[in-house]
Amino acid sequence: MISKEYLDSVRQQLDANDEKYVIECSSKNQISQYEALVKSYLPEAYWGRVEYKVKRMGFKLPKIIDQRSVTRMLKQLNLSCSTGIRNYAIIMMLYRAGLRVQEVCNLSLSDVNFDTGLIYLQQAKGKKDRYVPMDDDIIRSSQAWIAIRPESDYFFSTLEGGQLDQRYIREVCYRISKKAGVFIQDGTEKKPVSPHKLRHTCFSELLREGTCNIREIQELAGHSSISTTQIYTHIVLNDIQNKIKKRKGITE
């Protein structure tokens, strides 16, 4: 966020010359925030001399894991206890439906409809509603949780019926990831698998398998822009490139 000291320095530079001052922002939303701050602090005479530009961010492909790694993670959960059954169903929701962790936390009992096979996500990111289909893995694991679930306003709850916290779900992912020896390679670092990495893995698999096209994945993911979804096409292109590299050559 822009500080008072920063705005003071902007004013000093505008006073020192006739050139415009450019403020770099990370997004269009941030442009609106910064413009409002400038207008609340600087006199109107300065407003037209301040420009806002979205800076180019470095491009990083989403990190994913394979199905065998997910299976190893799931095997770390104790299915003889209530929390293990619940957490197994949560991991399935993250991995097989591609839900965001807060979407999982916010689900109510009526949002998960086994008759239609759909999960109803209300007022998710961007204040948008959407439906996400459930496969057999999600249905089986969710029904196992339903059978022992306490009374609660939330589909996934604490054993006392309260709402689960995002941090708890992240810690579950980190814990079973470490126990399974499954890590994400991020540069020179090895990091445990986060819930969002399971979401990336879900959409990458759907595209790679040919189960869904890019527009369908955009709908499932709840992306407002197709450009956000296109990160998954780069992963598939990497797979194609690796296959082409392994082709037998016609020369020695």
- Report the catalytic residues: 100, 125, 196, 199, 223, 232
- Block residue for tokens 């001399």: 49
For 157-196, give one letter per residue: b (16+ CB within 10 A) or e: beeeeeebeeeebeebbeebbeebebbbeeeeeeebbbbb
Give 130's strand partners. Answer: 121
DSSP 119: E
Grouping H, G, I as helix, E, B as strand and the rest as coil, residue 63 is coil
Please report the sign of the dihedral spanned by the C-alpha atoms of residue 38, residue 41, residue 43, residue 44. Answer: positive
Give the residue ranges of DSSP H helices in 28-165: 28-41, 44-47, 67-74, 82-96, 101-106, 136-146
DSSP 110: G
Closest CA to 97 of 79, 117, 73, 125: 117
Backbone angles phi, psi at 22, to 5 degrees: -105, 125
Helix (H) or strand (E) holding 23: strand 21-25
